[in-house]
Amino acid sequence: MTDDERAATRGYLEDEMARLGRLAGIAPGRLPGFTPCDGAYPFVEVGADGELRYLAYERGRKVLERVTHDPEDVLYWAFQDATFEAAAVWARSRPQDGEPFRVTLWRRQFALLHTLRPAWAHRRRADLIASFRDPDDIRLVPGLPPGT
């Protein structure tokens, strides 16, 4: 991958993160950057070989690494994380009677992801279900917003 291609990929990711962040009401500082930093804050690297790495370090140790060649995967990962955080803040301020906190959070996250790209809401729900082994946990995962 040439330097121009790397710059174009990075530019696309920066522009899309900014655009989608505005659409979802997520502050730019809550989205990953392109400069390594500690504190478990995710950032993106565009490799010379075209690999895109979604990374986070905590106290100098790598705690997250996802690798792809598809910029859409990086955007999904970034907004999966950012919408989770935003949904948690939202759910804490709006507890639903009789509904576990995590269900309220997931419902809000699915709605935010659906606003950005409906396929992301489907993907997040499927990823979440796949992460559970206990059928009781799986039954808690809410459905998707109407129209998905």
Structure tokens at 24: 């979802």
Phi, psi of 106 (to 5 degrees): -60, -40
CB 121 within 8 A of CB 87: no
User: What is the number of other CB atoms lying within 10 angstroms of the CB of residue 18?
Assistant: 13
Q: Which residues have C-beta within 8 Å of that of residue 138, sequence separation ≥ 6?
A: 129, 132
Cross-strand bridge partners of residue 67: 53
Give the pTM. Answer: 0.93
Residue 66 near residue 56 (C-beta atoms within 8 A): no
Place of tokens 């082994």: 133
pLDDT digits (tens, 9 = 90+) for 75-122: 999 999 999 999 999 999 999 999 999 999 999 999 999 999 999 999
Summarised one tens digit per residue, pLDDT across range 41-68 is 999 999 999 999 999 999 999 999 999 9
